[in-house]
Chains A and B, each alone.
Chain A
Amino acid sequence: MPLWLDLLIRVAGVMVGFLVLPLLVGQAEHKVMAHMQGRVGPMYAGAFHGWAQLVADGVKFVQKEDVHPHGADRQVFRLAPIVALFPYLVVILTIPLGPHGLVAQRLDIGLFLVLAILGIGVVAVLMSAWASANKYSLLGGLRGAAQLLGYELPLVLAAASVAMAAGTLSLPGIVEAWRPWWLVWQAPAAVVFFVAGLAEIRRPPFDMPIADSELVFGYMTEYTGLRFAFFLLAEYVGIIVIAGLTTVLFLGGWHGPFSDQLGWFWTLLKIFALSFVIIWFRVTYPRLREDQLQRLCWLVLVPLALAQLVLTVAVKSLL
């Protein structure tokens, strides 16, 4: 197969995943949330159980007017949703779906790249917050910046633990080095990574920056139409990315009880299971207060991640 064709197929695959998987997660969120709250959820769009609800939402967003607030920094205001969405697309490029090179781009420093790019989220939040020329947006943006910067640390530390255990920074390499008993050994790091990841994508219960009852919608307040849809899409792609990274780093990626030929199936299954957990958390838990949020990060997650690092080093040197 010529190189350009191979490249084209991989990029097209990533684009399809990037556009389809968030819709699946979004639809699952509608339904799971509804049933957890004892109601049925949207039922009318599309023929079967409202499957086309998110498509209809997309059409609705496209039709809406694109409003700029008076006094907004137009360039930055327009750019912010793209900056929020784009990093996740790049991250999806590096997440391996299955063995034998079933990944868009196999990188030796995959984990490093992923963590660096996920940090761009802070920039998008600050851009949208400042450029909106709105005090609620600014407050939300500052909260978001504090939260994202804080939770970056346990995220990186937990990822560092598994990278040390595997002895490589390559994401497929980590999955290849993974053994089932790592589920126990690396469990604290997995929990820390998952929780910090939830905070990184600002999902409830960590949705302090967009707390709609007090900050209207935080840094998204002034956004309308397609730009707002981009922010929402970024949230759902974020779910896929965090679930995918947790799968690849801690749950053994394509390793499954049966055939390795079905690797992509196991990866997707684990990603959807984790997405379900993310939705489940959203329905179950109330929003953390600002001080509780920071306390959880600095007094629980960071010490836990550091302890896991020590444990990883100890186990590695003993073996």
Chain B
Amino acid sequence: MTDDGDRPTPGKGLINGLAVTLKTLTKKTTTQQYPDVEPELPPRSRGVIALLEENCTVCMLCARECPDWCIYIDSHKEEVVVPGAARARQRNVLDRFDIDFSLCMYCGICIEVCPFDALHWTPEFEYAETDVLSLLHDKNRLGEWMRTVPPPPAHDVLGEPSKEEATAARKAAGPGAATAAKTARPASVRPEPRPESGK
């Protein structure tokens, strides 16, 4: 009774509380019917991680940067004999690429550091297992997730030109036009001004 001494009428709070719960009773529930109805996820949701194996060069950056050390990579070198070349080339072949999702904390560092876009976020989140060992996804399983990776967002027409575009424009303009070409943009990229844009 120390903290409710200056209340105007005793019991008003009790009545208000009852009114709140009764009002909520008559309202529609806000539950998401998840297993029956799929949730609408935002486009950049972080679910599982997908691997595009063709892009991987076994540079090991992801495995080294991973704070949890949950990426395991094995590889061997193969000699590729190119006819006409002075000597045989060497290339890395991926033997094993595993991510242990029981350790992963979904920081996304591996995806950020990958120089060749071999790793991608997918919005898939339903890969719970009854056995913790099954959370170790091998490269085939990681590769299957690639099907669920959403297409990258369209280029922002108002944004800065990409490096390739800028370089191409500079080359087309010829030497001596470097500063002008940096800001020059192809006219077709710009949005056409429309009279009925208000709609």
Contacts and interface: CB of A to CB of B under 8 A. Distances in A.
B86 to A, nearest CB: 70
Contacts of A37: 24
A38 B24 contact: yes
Interface stretch (B15-23, B39-47, B110-118): B15-23
B29 A280 contact: no
A32 interface: yes
Contact of A32 (B17, B25, B33): B25
A34 B18 contact: no
A280 B18 contact: yes
B30 A39 contact: yes
A38 B17 contact: no
A310 interface: no
B1 A284 contact: no
B189 interface: no
Nearest to A37: B24
B14 A35 contact: no
Interface in A7-41: 32, 34-40
B27 A280 contact: no
Contact of A38 (B1, B14, B30): B30
B7 to A, nearest CB: 15
Consensus secondary structure, chain B interface: helix
Interface in B85-144: none
A302 B29 CA distance: 41
- Among B22, B25, B27, B33, chain A packs the most CB atoms within 10 A around the CB of B25
Contacts of A40: 29, 31, 33
A283 interface: yes
Contact of A285 (B14, B22, B27, B29): B14
B31 A39 contact: yes
B22 A38 contact: no
A32 B21 CA distance: 10
Given A284-B18, A295-B1, A36 B30 contact: no
Nearest to A283: B21
A313 to B, nearest CB: 27
B31 to A, nearest CB: 4
B29 A35 contact: yes
B27 A38 contact: yes
A295 B17 CA distance: 21
Nearest to B15: A284
A283 B25 CA distance: 11
Contacts of B21: 36, 280, 283-284
B24 A285 contact: no
Contacts of A39: 29-31
A38 B21 CA distance: 9
A285 B11 CA distance: 12
A43 to B, nearest CB: 9
Nearest to B17: A284
A39 B33 CA distance: 10
Nearest to A296: B1
A35 B31 contact: no
A36 B25 contact: yes
Given A36-B25, A38-B31, A284-B20, 9 more contacts: A36-B22, A38-B27, A38-B29, A38-B30, A39-B29, A39-B30, A40-B29, A280-B21, A280-B22
Interface of B: 1, 14, 17-18, 20-22, 24-25, 27, 29-31, 33
14 contacts: A32-B25, A35-B24, A35-B29, A36-B21, A38-B31, A39-B31, A40-B29, A40-B31, A280-B18, A280-B21, A280-B22, A284-B20, A285-B17, A295-B1
Smallest CB-CB A-B distances: 7 pairs: A36-B21, A39-B31, A284-B17, A284-B21, A40-B31, A38-B30, A35-B25
